[in-house]
Amino acid sequence: MTALDHENGLVAMVVGSFTSVSLDPPLVGFLPEKKSGRWAGIARSGRFCVNVLGSDQQELCRRIATRGSGIQADADFSLSERGLPVIPDAVAQIECDIHSVLDAGDHYFVLGSVIDLRVSREQDPMLFHRGRYGSFAEIR
């Protein structure tokens, strides 16, 4: 997730759960920890971009997940027509306005209203399960 926080500039976070919620209206969801400073920056912006990383972008995922404020000045990103930061070589970008934020224990369930969606390149998406990166298996 990326956003422009009015107070701190570019903010990015890696989420472990992201899902399609509704087709009509188009809604997506993710679950940030309540104590996450990165989530606080995204919340202040009121909108976000889901950057679906490719299976070949593990190093970028690690950098976003471990640095203090997410993507740093040396990262490759651009602004979309709507002014949201996007990772240009991500597999897909989903731009959203925050629709609602629901209490979910020690997390929030954030619903985003999809305002734009595009696929940037053909590549399997990144998967992370049980502490490891993985890939889809083709069944024939």
How many Å apart are CA 74 and CA 100, to the nearest integer? 32
Domain count, the chain: 1
Find out whether 11 and 70 touch, Cβ atoms under 8 Å.
Answer: yes
How many Å apart are CA 3 and CA 117, to the nearest integer? 16
What is the model's pLDDT at position 29?
98
Q: Is residue 118 part of a domain?
A: yes
Q: Is residue 139 part of a domain?
A: no
Q: Is residue 137 part of a domain?
A: no
DSSP code at position 124: P
- Give the global pTM: 0.87
Q: Is residue 136 part of a domain?
A: no
Q: Is residue 29 part of a domain?
A: yes
Q: Is residue 32 part of a domain?
A: yes
Q: Is residue 138 part of a domain?
A: no
Tokens found for residue 122? 């053909």
pLDDT tens-digit readout, 8-35:
788 899 998 899 999 999 999 999 999 9
- More confidently predicted of 47 and 16: 47
30: CATH: 2.30.110.10
Domain coverage including residue 48:
2-131
Residue 131 has pLDDT above 90, yes or no: no
Q: Is residue 113 part of a domain?
A: yes
- More confidently predicted of 124 and 116: 116
